[in-house]
A = this chain, B = another copy of it.
Amino acid sequence: MTPGKAKAGAEVVRILGIDPGSRATGYGVIDQQGHALTFVTCGVIRTSEKQLFPERLQEIYNGICEVIAVYKPQLAGVEDIFTAINPRSALKLGHARGVLILAVRQHGLLLEEYSPRVVKQAVAGYGQASKEQVQQMVRILLRLAAEPSHDAADALAVAICRASHR
């Protein structure tokens, strides 16, 4: 997808949304100008389970650093998950979230964390919205020709949530 252009007038603020995962970390970048949101980019940082875990952490860290270096967002949002997963999954997810938060902080972005419920509320008006509803609302709100993948859509949803909570 190609970067959109925000309208002239109010200040444009660029926002990065992150949906952390040790296998797949979604990222999405949008511009906010007044109430207008414009899609900039989205994607997924994937790591292979064949790699050693420290290598995967480095790839996640390098991947998000590259996104920040290329697109230069000023604000960031990240999903905050503290429930409904077992300790082993929580620990793995924590490693990925840790290096992502470190990268965001090292680059001076203003970070906020949002629970999945708050993110869903912001994009779909309903805290229990399904993955598919979130995907569809992200497509509509950002006027995308096609629906992004789940991980990228979740990251864009976090970015939209960050924009609506400014």
Interfacial residues, chain A to chain B (CB-CB below 8 A): 53-55, 57-58, 61, 81-99, 101-102, 104-106, 111
Given contacts A53-B101, A55-B105, 20 further A-B contacts (CB under 8 A): A57-B105, A58-B102, A58-B106, A61-B102, A81-B91, A82-B88, A84-B87, A86-B87, A87-B87, A87-B89, A88-B90, A91-B93, A91-B94, A91-B97, A93-B94, A95-B98, A95-B101, A96-B98, A97-B98, A102-B102
* A81 / chain B contacts, CB cutoff of 8 Å: 91
B83 touches A87 (CB 8 A): yes
Cα–Cα distance between A104 and B98 once the two chains are bound (Å): 14
Residues of B within 8 A of A111 (CB): 54
Residues of chain B contacted by A90 (CB below 8 angstroms): 87-88, 90-91, 94
A88, A98, A101: residue with the most chain B Cβ atoms closer than 10 Å: A98
* Complex-state Cα separation, A107 to B88, whole angstroms: 27
CA distance A94 to B101 in the complex (A): 12
Q: Which of B89, B99, B105 contacts A102 (CB 8 A)?
A: B99
Tell me the bound Cα distance from A93 to B57 in angstroms: 15
Q: Judging by beta carbons under 8 Å apart, are A98 and B87 in contact?
A: no
Which are the 3 A-B pairs with shortest beta-carbon distances?
A94-B94, A98-B98, A95-B98
A32 to B106, CA, bound (A): 35
